[in-house]
Structure 1
Amino acid sequence: MSWLQVVVLSIVQGLTEFLPVSSSGHLAITSRLFFSDDAGASFTAVSQLGTEAAVLLYFAKDIVRIVRAWFAGLFDATRRDNVDYRMGWFVIIGTIPICVLGLLFKDVIRGGARNLWLVASALIVFSVVIALAEYVGRQTRHAEQLTWRDAVIVGFAQCLALVPGVSRSGATISAGLFLGVDRELAARFGFLLAIPAVFASGLFSLPDAFAPVSEGMSATGPQLLVAVLIAFVVGFVAVAWLLRFLTRHSMYWFVGYRVALGVLVLILLGTGVMSAT
């Protein structure tokens, strides 16, 4: 990897990780369009450590409160009738599906799933899901009304993010909307749910980012460190902006962008301007 690639891809990662547009899809597209090679799933996973660190900082007060409530309720049954205690369990329950499926399909995720025909198709097809969720979502349920069933459903929805082009936030927010959860809470829960899964994926992929065993370019230690730092700074700004945006606007804005990008990529692939692999 060149330093220019590291900087550009890290900025793309930070900008798109939290938006319902698929950061992994954008990295795959940007890598091949401008650098004629795929950055690889491992570099993507490692750079996500920066954006998840941004989530940790942004939600630091919420996370500390949830962790304290979870531990307090774990050893004292009288303190379990608490929204934060239940939220701790919901994050744990919702993380299990993607950890299991991520390990089972890690080779596919690192290889064939990054084909740009699939990425472009996922951008377009999942846009329909996001639009439908926005259309039918009642947004009448709040944090105190969440159940373990909601956590399981949103957890499985997060697994869709293993396919580049789907979007983790798009999948989890859509699932929340289908369940009647208000849009901002759906986004917050999705971000919290991503923290353990993304950190586990990034640390697991760290060795392969230095020397990919299959697809992707290799990066040096300093390059990976810079990538994480850039993704952290840009990601912090992006998550703060998105949460403010979702309180006043729908996700239809992102649907149009996803469809336009997906169609553009299909045209570039069909005309031979860009390679799918």
Structure 2
Amino acid sequence: MSHFEAFMLALIQGLTEFLPISSSAHLILPSQVFGWADQGLAFDVAVHVGTLAAVVLYFRKEVVSLLSAWVNSIITGKCCREATLAWMIVLATIPACVFGFFMADIIAHYLRSAWVIAVTTIVFGLLLWWVDRRAPQNIDEYAADPKRSLYIGLAQAAAMIPGTSRSGATMTAALYLGFTREAAARFSFLMSIPIIVLAGTYLGTKLADSTAPVDFGGLGIGLAVSFISAYACIHVFLKLVTRLGMFPFVIYRLLLGAGLIAFLMSQQ
């Protein structure tokens, strides 16, 4: 992988990780459309660390508040609203862990294809559009309860299918349950922290057993570019989502899916 490819893939990861347009799809497509080399485990770990650092830094006040309240609730047995929200984020993470444990290999072998990405990009884009128009959107993230959290967690688990989008699926579920657009985005972003930690840890253990050579220059590019682009993306998205809604991302998904189908058909 060249340093240009490392820069572009890290930029794609940072810009798409938190937008409802599927980062996994955008990272798979360059290899299938342009024939780029697979980025490898080390690079995957680097960009995961970059995006994790971005979301933790952006929500640093919330992270400290939620974490301290969560620990205090374990020690004292008393829950304030921050502790309750922290527990709901933990609960929402469980379905993806279970689904990933049993289905990760199946997804990697049978669903990482451009055709799957094209279909899921369109289908889940239309679902996001329908929910964004129809849902009441009148509660914030602190209204999350076990039932709502598990529902959003199941959506996050389903998003392991390439092209679905983790943030897109969780925001769609949250909007359907009545969250405002900003609350749905914030809950989705906070949910991303434990799942990125778990994914990065899993990739890190696999990397530890690998004997493949490591390009530290490429890793540095991946870490820095994914961090900067992800931080900027979170900031801009939260500023615009309440005014523009999800419609621009729906249009993008439909155009991407249609363009990908046209490309694939032209290759037959």
- C-alpha deviation, 1:151, in angstroms: 0.9
Q: How does 1:71-82 map to 2 (within 5 A)?
A: 71-77=71-77, 79-80=78-79, 82=80
- 1:56 corresponds in structure 2 to 56
From the superposition, tell whether residues 212 and 263 of structure 1 become closer, same or farther in structure 2 (CA, over 3 Å).
farther
Query: Which string of whole-angstrom CA distances, capped at 9 and with x for unpartnered residues, describes residues 67-99 of structure 1?
Result: 11112222224x42x210101101111111111
Aligned to 1:34: 34
Cα 1:208/1:69, change in 2 over 3 Å: closer
Distance of 2:171 and 2:70 partners within structure 1: 24
Deviates more, 1:108-117 or 1:238-247: 108-117
- Once the 2 structures are TM-superposed, how far is the Cα of residue 144 of structure 1 from its aligned partner? 3.6
| Equivalent-residue separation in structure 2 for 1:106 and 1:47 (angstroms) | 19
CA displacement, residues 24-46 of structure 1 (integer Å, 9 cap, x when unaligned): 10111123323444446885465
Percent identity reads 33
Shift of 1:108: 2.5
In the alignment, what sits opposite 1:269?
Answer: 264
Pair 1:249-2:244 in alignment: yes
Aligned to 1:181: 179
Matched, 1:236 2:231: yes
Q: Counterpart in 2 of 1:200?
A: 198
Once residues 114 and 99 of structure 1 are traced to their aligned partners in structure 2, the CA distance between those partners, rounded to angstroms, is: 19
Tell me, in whole angstroms, the C-alpha distance in 2 between the residues paired with 1:44 and 1:23.
12
User: CA deviation digits over 1:152-204, x for unaligned, max 9?
Assistant: 11111111221111111110111001001111111111111111111211221
Map of 1:135 onto structure 2: 133
Residue matched to 2:158: 160
Instruction: Call closer, same or farther: CA 1:133–1:43 in 2, change over 3 Å.
Output: farther
Matched residue SS, 2:243: coil
| 1:124 positional shift | 0.6
Amino acid at match of 1:247: T
The separation in 2 between residues aligned to 1:108 and 1:218, in whole angstroms, is 27
Aligned to 1:227: 222
Paired residue secondary structure (2:167) = helix
Provide, for residues 120-163 of structure 1, a one-character-per-residue CA deviation record: whole Å limited to 9, x for no partner: 11101111110111022101112342211111111111112211
- TM-score, structure 1 as length reference: 0.89
Q: Is the 8 A contact 1:47 1:202 kept in 2?
A: no
Secondary structure of 2:185's counterpart equals helix
For residues 42-121 of structure 1, the aligned pairs below 5 Å read 43-44=43-44, 46-77=46-77, 79-80=78-79, 82-121=80-119
Aligned-partner SS, 1:114: coil
Residues in 2 aligned to 1:212 and 1:23: alpha-carbon distance in whole angstroms: 24
Change over 3 Å in CA distance of 1:212–1:257 after alignment to 2:
farther
- For normalisation by structure 2, the TM-score amounts to 0.92
**Cα shift at 1:218:** 7.7
Residue of structure 1 equivalent to 2:14 = 14
Q: Check conservation: 2:140, 2:184, Cα contact below 8 A.
A: no
8 Å CA contact 1:42, 1:202 repeated in 2: no
Rounded to whole Å, the distance in 2 between the matches of 1:62 and 1:241 is 18
Determine if contact 1:10/1:227 at 8 Å carries over to the other structure.
yes
Given the superposition, is the C-alpha separation of residues 48 and 161 from structure 1 closer, same or farther in structure 2, using an over 3 Å criterion? farther
Aligned length: 268
Contact 2:70 2:87 in 1 (8 A): yes
Gaps of 5+ in 2: none
**Partner in structure 2 of residue 2 of structure 1:** 2
Contact 1:45/1:198 (CA < 8 Å) preserved in 2? Answer: no
Deviates more, 1:170-179 or 1:32-41: 32-41
- Tell whether the 8 Å contact from 1:184 to 1:247 is kept in structure 2 after alignment: yes
Query: Deviation of residue 236 (structure 1)?
Result: 0.3
- Distance (whole Å) between structure 1 residues aligned to residue 42 and residue 254 of structure 2: 26
